[in-house]
Amino acid sequence: MVTDLNNLTSKVLEEKKASLQEEIDQAEQEVADEVATFEEEAAEQFEADKKAALEKIEREKDIQQNSIKIEERNEILSLKQDYIKRILDEAQTKMNETSDDVVKQFAEQTLPQFEGAGQMTLTLGEHSQNALTSDWVDQQAVSGLELTVSDETIANEAGFVLEQKGIEYNFLFSELLEAHRSQYIAEINQKLF
């Protein structure tokens, strides 16, 4: 009977041991599954974070490249504008230094437009006052146009202004240059850039 009891005890212990081993195996499997799931999720999160970081770096790189391109374009544009301004300023200076003969020729080509206009006042630019004297004006034969040379001059200008009853016809070289400024800028851009 003791042997039966020992056998029974051994059998119960074996069953308990097997049951406990089964629970341990199941717990180990659950832990292994959880670890595998965690590792998989961590790897996926790492890849997602890595992808997001690389995309952010790429966007920032694009923004920096675009900023550099815009800065370069603005710098080139500024240099072009400065260069064009210098060219136009130089043209203005040369126009102010135009010879008396050229100013006379310009006036001879301009005055016939006012044939039949009657009485007009001619006000000279300071740089042209020696070119178009009262004697020269008196010698101009434009039918129906009677010119009077003003005693006043327009400071720092070349060319002239014709005035009749409060209406001014501006033939100052600076104004003529300004009136065609956009055309000149387009030509300069086309030729130089």
161, 70: one domain: no
The packing angle between helices 181-192 and 2-96, to 10°, is 120
Last residue of a domain, one of 96, 113, 148: 96
- For the domain that residue 171 is a member of, what is the CATH number? 3.30.2320.30
Tens digits of residue pLDDT in 14-34: 888 888 888 888 978 988 888
Q: Torsions phi, psi of 158, nearest 5?
A: -120, 150
Which run of H or E residues covers position 50? Answer: helix 2-96
Together in a domain, 155 and 185: yes
Are 59 and 129 members of one domain? no
Question: What integer is the mean pLDDT of 121-144?
Answer: 89
Whose tokens are 């790492």? That residue is: 46
For residue 170, give its domain range: 99-192
Q: Where are the beta strands (DSSP E) in the chain?
A: 118-125, 145-154, 159-164, 167-172
Instruction: For residue 120, give the DSSP letter.
Output: E
Domain endpoint, select from 72, 96, 120: 96
Last residue of a domain, one of 45, 68, 96: 96
pLDDT in tens, 69-83: 999 999 988 988 898
**Total count of domains within the chain:** 2
Per-residue confidence (pLDDT) for residue 97, from 0 to 100: 87
The amino acid at residue 3 is T
Residue 94 in this model has a pLDDT that exceeds 70: yes
**H-helix or E-strand containing 35?**
helix 2-96
- Read off the pTM: 0.59
Instruction: Identify the three-state secondary structure at position 184.
Output: helix
